Amino acid sequence: MANKRNLLVVDDEQTMREFLASSLGGRFNVRTANNGVAALAELKKQRFDLVLTDVQMPGRGGLELLEDIASQLDYRPLVVMMTAFGSIAQAVEATRRGAVDYLTKPFGLDQLDHVLSRAFEFEQLRTENRSLRTTVSARSDTHGLLGNNPAMIQLREKIAMIADARGTVLLQGESGTGKEVVARAIHDSGSRRDGPFIRINCAAIPETLLESELFGYERGAFTGAVTTRKGKFELADGGTLLLDEISEMPFAMQAKLLRVLQEREFTRLGAKYATKADVRIIATSNRNLKDEIKARTFREDLYFRLNVIPLRIVPLRLRKDDIPMLANHFCQVFCAENGRPLLKLSESAMRCLCSMDWPGNVRQLQNVIERAVILCAGDELDREILGLSEEMDATEKTREMTGDLTLRDMERELILKKLTTTRGNRTKAAQELGISVRTLRNKLNLYTDLGVEIPG
């Protein structure tokens, strides 16, 4: 049968060869050889998955055959040794030369089946480890920024250019696009890689605590300050400080941050003297900061101070050609994390993934693959296990009705025209369009990513 594995039995005793061929013929395509020389000739004629060979044979024995396999074949079959002389020394020598297991004669069929099953399990693990090493190597080379889309290639090139610069970096992109991954890549690519990488989420810390978190405090500075505590700026000395979601920072706090960026020093709460820190600042935002400036929620002078080196991360829907690579990568990672054999994505599953617009971007894709790996009961991830059938059907119906992106083009033209008539007043434009200001802002961010000039 075509789906049987090929197995080569090598033994100088004819009765042993016939016994093994008869016992294993139902599960394998079995061929036999009476010594190492004949076995090597068979191995060169066709590819074998496993070689079951005796150690002691006239002419050329099993240990010599192991050496011939390593030096003369362009592939590596699994090798299990058999011997009537079950010494520890032979077992150690056989495994050192590449054998995956060892059988001592006489052995029963149950023992043989167990060893063969273990050998193929070993091969599966070896294949998965090789795949994971390739993935880890790719992640190391790209700092986790996977993708061959021109936008990703350009982003990696820019990171290499700015890695050792001291200037502040402003990363803008939608939620889930990987802004923190990019920030980490900038840190790891430069001379500060051995220094600390400190992250603070400006949206997650109450306004009353943010200043002490950033700058630290002296003992007795306020009730409860029983010890002196370093802030994030001081902890990041010699490394990088990531100000995540800088657009969420309270307006009053922005003025204090501006002063720190200008003077490269800060003052702990309750301290008399300022402290200097050699810190590389990276700020991120999922909002268009120019819109926030117009709305008077973000300081324009702080924006200019942060926007020394601007980087924009494109959403996943604009680089769909990277989805297969990302999906396979996440599948490998989560299979390894959950102790599962490597699963494959079916063609229908991959088509489904590539057809989605992914409003949650790479993070959403990652979560979908993780869930599918955990819930999958078979050896393949199909479209159903992804749990995206409803979204897929809705997308297909929309495309049938609109002629792909015609409706979106019309929507964009309507929004831009409305902005023109309202002279850039986004609140008024949103009201007249019947949508929220947040929805309008998200659509304008998308248009900006596409290179569209926004009126006003």
CATH assignment at residue 430: 1.10.10.60
Per-residue confidence (pLDDT) for residue 390, from 0 to 100: 53
Burial of 144 from C-beta contacts in 10 A (0-12 / 13-18 / 19+): middle
Q: Would residue 143 count as lying in a domain?
A: no
Give yes or no: residues 374 and 436 share one domain: no
Query: Which of these three, 76, 104, 133, is where a domain ends?
Result: 133
Per-residue confidence (pLDDT) for residue 158, from 0 to 100: 92
Instruction: State the Cα–Cα distance between residues 93 and 207, nearest whole angstrom.
Output: 67
Per-residue confidence (pLDDT) for residue 139, from 0 to 100: 46
Give yes or no: residues 88 and 15 share one domain: yes
Instruction: State the Cα–Cα distance between residues 73 and 71, nearest whole angstrom.
Output: 6
Per-residue confidence (pLDDT) for residue 221, from 0 to 100: 81
Name the pairing type of β-strands 50-54 and 101-104. Answer: unpaired
Per-residue confidence (pLDDT) for residue 91, from 0 to 100: 63
Whether the Cβ atoms of residue 52 and residue 10 lie closer than 8 Å to each other: yes
Segments of the chain with pLDDT less than 70: 1-2, 85-89, 91-92, 125-144, 389-409, 449-453, 456
Q: Number of structural domains, the chain?
A: 4
Query: Which of these three, 101, 133, 165, is where a domain ends?
Result: 133
Per-residue confidence (pLDDT) for residue 86, from 0 to 100: 57
DSSP secondary structure code for residue 331 in this structure: H
DSSP secondary structure code for residue 269 in this structure: B
Of residues 299, 301, 313, the one with CA closest to residue 186: 313
Per-residue confidence (pLDDT) for residue 180, from 0 to 100: 92
Q: Would residue 378 count as lying in a domain?
A: yes
Give the pLDDT confidence of 425-434 residue by residue, as tens digits. Answer: 888 888 888 7
Q: Would residue 455 count as lying in a domain?
A: no
Q: Would residue 185 count as lying in a domain?
A: yes
Which pTM was predicted? 0.58
Give yes or no: residues 88 and 228 share one domain: no
Q: Would residue 140 count as lying in a domain?
A: no
Give yes or no: residues 26 and 60 share one domain: yes
Give yes or no: residues 34 and 173 share one domain: no
CB environment 186-221: b (16+ within 10 A), e (fewer): bbbbbebeebebbbbebeebeeeebbbbbbbbbeeb
The helix/strand/coil state of 287 is: coil
Per-residue confidence (pLDDT) for residue 394, from 0 to 100: 45
Give yes or no: residues 78 and 214 share one domain: no
- Say how many CA atoms lie within 13 Å of 98 toward its Cβ: 19
Burial of 353 from C-beta contacts in 10 A (0-12 / 13-18 / 19+): buried
Give yes or no: residues 335 and 303 share one domain: no
Per-residue confidence (pLDDT) for residue 262, from 0 to 100: 85
Give yes or no: residues 280 and 387 share one domain: no
CATH code where residue 195 lies: 3.40.50.300
Q: Would residue 81 count as lying in a domain?
A: yes
Instruction: State the Cα–Cα distance between residues 415 and 94, nearest whole angstrom.
Output: 73
Q: Would residue 145 count as lying in a domain?
A: no
Query: Which of these three, 269, 297, 314, is where a domain ends?
Result: 314
Of residues 119, 109, 106, 114, the one with CA closest to residue 13: 106
What is the extent of the structural domain holding 368?
A: 318-402
Of residues 402, 412, 335, the one with CA closest to residue 375: 335
Per-residue confidence (pLDDT) for residue 452, from 0 to 100: 67
Give yes or no: residues 377 and 263 share one domain: no
Give yes or no: residues 126 and 166 share one domain: no
CATH code where residue 107 lies: 3.40.50.2300
349: left (phi over 0), alpha (psi -120 to 50) or beta: alpha
Per-residue confidence (pLDDT) for residue 120, from 0 to 100: 83
Q: Would residue 454 count as lying in a domain?
A: no
Instruction: State the Cα–Cα distance between residues 250 and 204, nearest whole angstrom.
Output: 12
Give yes or no: residues 299 and 170 share one domain: yes
Give yes or no: residues 289 and 233 share one domain: yes
Per-residue confidence (pLDDT) for residue 397, from 0 to 100: 47
Per-residue confidence (pLDDT) for residue 383, from 0 to 100: 86
